[in-house]
Amino acid sequence: MSPQKKETFGNLGPWAEPSWYSSLASPYYNESHKRLRNALRTYIDDNVKPYMLEWEEKGEAPAEERMKWAQTGFAFGDVPEPYRPKHIPGPAGIPVGEMDVFHLMVSIDEGSRIEGGVGTALAGGSVIGVPPIVHHGTEEQKKRWLPGLFTWETSFCLGITEPSGGVCMLSWGLAMLTWCVVGRRQYPNDREENVRRQALCRQRL
């Protein structure tokens, strides 16, 4: 494979785009990654960027835009197909089972073009609340909560029991348990529509 590419995409200024977009060939990105990149770029340019500074100033994205984003297929791309409504495609029409970590990197790169908290406003705290259910939840929990993400019937936020320690939880382990939690909680991405709040708790020994 030649290290140089002839095709170009996006802003050709130095460091303006990931290198594989225009300059360096990569064995890790194929046509499906380009398809996702192109579709996300178009959607964000047409539906988000023209309005994002206004939404940022207001501190909220309109409800109809949040609903539209949830049903594009781009949102909650890590939710497996059995828990996605039948009419919701995979991101850019790519089956979720064919997605890999490089599709996730494309989504992160393209999503980073959205101003400030607007990306979180579009998807809510569910971008943090969904992975624990997908990877550690029971089958009952998955069937009960994941399909509703795409209609906003389900909306998650994350709570932690160390409110004085900020929101960095990198070293914490996770288990889906039932506890009686006593003390203060901090909900760093809460919103009034949240119907499920996940509390990350530290056990005192």
pLDDT, one tens digit per residue, over 65-104 is 999 999 999 999 889 999 999 999 899 999 999 999 999 9
Same domain, yes or no: 84 and 97: yes
Nearest-angstrom CA–CA distance, 104 and 178? 31
pLDDT at 177: 47
The amino acid sitting at 122 is L
Same domain, yes or no: 23 and 106: yes
pLDDT at 156: 80
Same domain, yes or no: 32 and 16: yes
Residues of the chain with pLDDT under 50: 171-172, 174-177, 179, 185-190, 194
Same domain, yes or no: 89 and 152: no
Same domain, yes or no: 131 and 155: yes
Q: DSSP letter for 197, please.
A: E
Q: DSSP letter for 157, please.
A: E
Same domain, yes or no: 30 and 102: yes
pTM (two decimals): 0.76
Q: DSSP letter for 6, please.
A: S
Contact yes or no for 163/200 (Cβ under 8 A): no
- Structural domain boundaries, residue 140: 125-205
Same domain, yes or no: 78 and 10: yes
Counted domains in the chain: 2
Exposed e or buried b per residue across 36-64, where buried means at least 16 C-beta atoms within 10 angstroms of its C-beta: bbebbbebbeeebeeebeebbeeeebeee
Nearest-angstrom CA–CA distance, 188 and 30? 37
Same domain, yes or no: 129 and 58: no
